[in-house]
């Protein structure tokens, strides 16, 4: 079956993608890259699925923090439990934007609370909880299930790349184990190709069982300069194609391509208030770098014929 980019308009962006793929697949050309070197890394929040008015995982986490605040009223006077109890989504959204603008004050509070929310939960219990969340939860303003919040043109792009023997990895600041139960269904990406932030784990054996349990601490936060480190640690190759949308993806995109090899960097610009959202907050630095370096900017408004499947 021929896989094309039918949900992409016939613009310079689509031409850039198709031209790059043709060049690296042309065995007689100077930019040829063998299939094993055709590595793609794609951010998730705001790149593969909708991240406004807040990242989907944040909604999942707010619900859990609200439960903890209900069980222990003293927590409800502290952030981020107070915001979760009061459904103050603005506080959480502002924390994310401030993080991408270099202010981590509120993000540190959130990052300290998240591991505690799932302390001593087994990996299987967490997987079931995430799957149950996606079975029922809906986007708060788009009135569609979260399972339909993947960007159809991006999923199509992944299939197009795989048809040309690229290997796709997700490299996200989001929790690796939150994405794994749903990444196959939404994107066709198996769990072993999901790279992301991670809670600490501990091993427990006894009574004929062997379990991995989450600890009340972060293992690492896969964002900013940490992204290239995690990509190299997991893959052992530089990607030749990277896709992002925020300042947290800047280092990953800079890392794409060998110094003397071909590379394509795609930056998703959210500029369609009618079909999705229109914002650049948290992407100011990477947009400036894209302009300076000639990276390919993907306009949701101009380059995509549709947004959601």
Helix (H, G, I), strand (E, B) or coil at 181: helix
Would you say 264 and 20 are in contact if contact means Cβ atoms under 8 Å apart? yes
Tell me the pLDDT band of 139, cut-offs 50, 70 and 90. very high
CATH classification number, 12-49+144-198+220-303, choose in 3.40.50.620, 2.30.110.10, 3.40.50.1000, 3.40.640.10: 3.40.50.1000
What tens digit of pLDDT does each residue of 120-129 get?
A: 899 999 999 9
pLDDT digits (tens, 9 = 90+) for 3-48: 799 999 999 999 999 999 999 999 999 999 999 999 999 999 999 9
Average pLDDT score over residue span 290-309: 97
Average pLDDT over the chain, rounded to an integer = 94
Does the pLDDT at position 107 exceed 80?
Answer: yes
DSSP letters of 15-65? HHHHHHHHHHH-TTSTT---GGG-EEEE--BTTTB---SS-HHHHHHHHHH
User: CATH 3.40.50.1000: which residues of the chain?
Assistant: 12-49+144-198+220-303
- The pTM (predicted TM-score) of the whole model is 0.92
Q: Are 20 and 265 in contact (CB under 8 A)?
A: no
Q: How far apart are CA 273 and CA 239, in angstroms?
A: 32
- The average pLDDT across 122-140 equals 96
Give residue 1's pLDDT band: very low, low, confident or very high (50, 70, 90).
low
């Amino acid at each position: 079956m021929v896989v094309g980019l039918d949900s992409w308009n016939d613009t310079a962006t689509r031409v850039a993608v198709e031209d790059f793929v043709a060049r690296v697949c042309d065995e007689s050309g100077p930019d040829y890259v063998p299939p094993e070197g055709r590595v793609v890394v794609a951010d998730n929040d705001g790149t593969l699925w909708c991240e406004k008015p807040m990242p989907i995982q944040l909604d999942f986490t707010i619900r859990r923090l609200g439960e903890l605040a209900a069980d222990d009223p003293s927590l409800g006077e502290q952030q981020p439990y107070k915001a979760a109890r009061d459904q103050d989504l603005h506080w959480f959204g502002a924390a994310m934007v401030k993080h991408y603008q270099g202010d981590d004050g509120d993000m540190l509070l959130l990052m300290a609370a998240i591991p505690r929310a799932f302390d001593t939960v087994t990996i299987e219990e967490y997987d079931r909880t995430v799957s149950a969340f996606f079975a029922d939860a809906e986007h708060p303003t788009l009135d569609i299930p979260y399972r339909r919040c993947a960007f159809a043109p991006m999923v199509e792009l992944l299939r197009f790349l795989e048809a040309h023997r690229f290997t796709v990895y997700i490299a996200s600041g989001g929790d690796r184990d939150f994405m794994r139960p749903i990444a196959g269904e939404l994107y066709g990406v198996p769990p072993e190709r999901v790279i992301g932030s991670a809670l600490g784990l501990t091993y427990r054996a006894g009574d004929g069982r062997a379990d991995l349990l989450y600890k009340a601490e972060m293992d690492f936060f896969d964002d900013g300069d940490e992204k290239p480190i995690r990509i190299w640690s997991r893959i052992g190759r530089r990607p030749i194609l990277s896709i992002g949308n925020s300042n947290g993806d800047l280092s990953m995109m800079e890392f794409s391509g060998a110094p003397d090899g071909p590379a394509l960097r795609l930056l998703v610009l959210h500029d369609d208030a009618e079909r999705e959202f229109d914002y650049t907050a948290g992407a100011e630095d990477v947009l400036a770098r894209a302009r300076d370096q000639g990276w390919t900017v993907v306009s949701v408004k101009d380059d995509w014929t549709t947004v959601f499947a």
